[in-house]
Amino acid sequence: MPALHKIEEMQTPAAIATETSLDPKDWKELKNLAHEMVDDMFAYLEDIRKEPAWRAPSLFAKEKLREPLPVKSTAAEEVYQEFKENILPFNLNNIHPRFWAWVQGGGTPLGMIADMLASGMNPNMAIGNHIPMYVELQVIDWCKQIFGFPAEASGIIQSGASMANITALIVARNTFLDNCKQRGLTALGKQLIVYGSEETHNCLLKAVEVIGLGSEHFRKIKVNDDYTINIKSLLEQIEADKINGFVPFCIVGNAGTVNTGAIDDLSLLTAIAKKEKMWFHVDGAFGAIPKILPEFEKQLKGLEDADSLSFDFHKWMYMNYEAACVLIRNKTAHKKAFSTPVNYLMQHDRGLSSGPESFSDYGMELSRGFKSLKIWMSLKTYGLDKYRELVRQNLEQVKYLVELIDENKELELMAPAELNIACFRFNPFSKHHKDLNSLNKEILMRLHEQGIATPSYTILKGNYVIRVAHTNHRTRKEDFDILINGVIRLGHAIINEDV
Ligand SMILES: *Cc1c(COP(=O)(O)O)cnc(C)c1O
């Protein structure tokens, strides 16, 4: 390698340079402010347990965010004060120990710092011979090991499982419609069909719409009592579609449905996909993560045989938003779907344009941030064993919550809680309360508005339920005591107001 050329003697000293830039004039001043910000954010995270679970954004704070476009400068200290007063207090608060809404992780202080380092380096993760590219490749290799994918498989870090799922479906579609990149969807002259249970996440329906297959061609297969896909219905639907001249091409298996955490029979789905020469994709947004636990060997069997798998780091791996990954077994198919040679992105043998293959050949995005640094740092710092411990802790805490529900005659568990999601409702059977749906919705509103806890909701078989989706590393068992006491107290208060 040639020696690096010395260029200091050609540089103008900062004090006499005439050009402007966005670097601070006074580095020390911004550095002091930065230290204050770090201290404030650490205090914020350290003390979050003492805060209400949620606080509605104040009118004032909302009004402050309708100001005219700034044309002149404002001191960074002043802008930071406004952040502290009007933005920070009204967070979504998924960092709070009693946040269990939707399926959202809480991030970590280490992840926050890693994001700062990544942002300081600020590489564009599209192309080039620089170490951040190798960090992402390292992370993808680790993912293959975690989920039992072969070393030759490919993958790419994505913003979330929605993007990971659509990426996988594009590869699947293009594999079946070999010349669809040139000729579009009419290349086959027949309609491609995707199958998944009716509990499949909406982002897969969106994907099917966006990639031009049409939502009618996502067959929503009915589920069993435990909300897993009904295999018999799936097979019947595939047969019927074949008879009607459609082309069944992809099965989506759920490793953890969003409503209840149900895990489909993935090995059976793999076998069906193989037999029918279809693509098998697994949406494992959060439910693929227990693959790190030996006790899930049986339940998640088959996942390692999928053609593609997507999962999030920002849910059950507790990493800071955003971070997800898609793995694709067939690297050639993956690259073929997204790479189009262009002059200005040519790979060179030497210099900055050499190095690993462009990530833009494996996904839609060209410019991408250095999301993989926080993943690399978190995995290295904590090690897989720490994640095993935390995922087990979450599973045990959900069992504890289910015990609390079972012990209480006025609470009803509304779906099996096999994984990390518990759906339940308040039901004072004896009191013949007329509308349990509105009663439980009102309980949930008050849980939020009083800052007690933030579970969310769903509708199961027409019933409005309170839904706890647990991917929170800060929760303690006592937090579930607080939730249950709150539900019962509020339930009685609402009934008493009604009579
Ligand atoms: C959250 C979720 C998604 C979407 O993932 P994002 O990271 O929010 O894009 C997809 N599938 C399931 C099962 C999910 O829980």
Q: Please report which confidence band the pLDDT of residue 342 belongs to, taking 50, 70 and 90 as the band edges.
A: confident
**Alpha-carbon span 177 to 168, nearest angstrom:** 14
Q: Whose CA is nearest to atom 2 of ligand 1?
A: 285
Q: Quote the pLDDT of residue 7.
A: 76
Q: Quote the pLDDT of residue 432.
A: 61
Say whether pLDDT at 369 is over 90. yes
Q: Quote the pLDDT of residue 470.
A: 98
Provide mean pLDDT across the span 101-125: 98
Say whether pLDDT at 199 is over 80. yes
* Residue keyed to tokens 């170490």: 131
Q: Is the peptide bond before 322 cis (omega within 30 degrees of 0)?
A: yes
Distance from Cα 283 to the centre of ligand 1, integer Å: 8
Strands of the 421-426 sheet, one edge to the other: 99-100, 454-460, 463-469, 421-426, 411-413
Higher pLDDT: 185 or 394? It is 394
In ligand 1, the atom with minimum distance to the C-alpha of 286 is 15
* Residue keyed to tokens 């690096």: 4
**Alpha-carbon span 7 to 499, nearest angstrom:** 83
Which alpha helices (H) appear in 184-265, and where do they start and end?
202-210, 231-243
Beta-strand runs (E) in 329-470: 411-413, 421-426, 454-460, 463-469
Q: Quote the pLDDT of residue 430.
A: 67
Q: Quote the pLDDT of residue 152.
A: 98
| φ/ψ bin of 23: left (φ > 0), alpha (ψ from -120 to 50), beta (otherwise) | beta
Instruction: Give the tens place of pLDDT for each residue, 426-468.
Output: 998 766 667 999 999 999 999 999 999 999 999 999 999 999 9
Say whether pLDDT at 146 is over 80. yes
List the domains of the chain with CATH numbers.
123-369 (3.40.640.10)
Pocket test for ligand 1, best of 200, 228, 258, 289 (most atoms within 8 A of CB): 258
Say whether pLDDT at 390 is over 90. yes
* Residue keyed to tokens 């279809």: 278
Pocket test for ligand 1, best of 199, 266, 315, 421 (most atoms within 8 A of CB): 315
Question: How do 454-460 and 99-100 pair as beta strands?
Answer: parallel
Q: Quote the pLDDT of residue 1.
A: 65
Alpha carbon 69 to its chain's center:
33
Distance from Cα 203 to the centre of ligand 1, integer Å: 7
As for ligand 1, residues whose beta carbon falls within 6 Å of it are 103, 160-162, 201, 203, 256, 258, 283, 285-286, 312, 324
Instruction: Give the tens place of pLDDT for each residue, 274-297.
Output: 999 999 999 999 999 999 999 999
**Alpha-carbon span 107 to 130, nearest angstrom:** 27
On whether the CB atoms of residues 474 and 48 are closer than 8 A, the answer is yes
pLDDT over 70 percentage in the chain: 98
Pocket test for ligand 1, best of 252, 286, 303, 371 (most atoms within 8 A of CB): 286
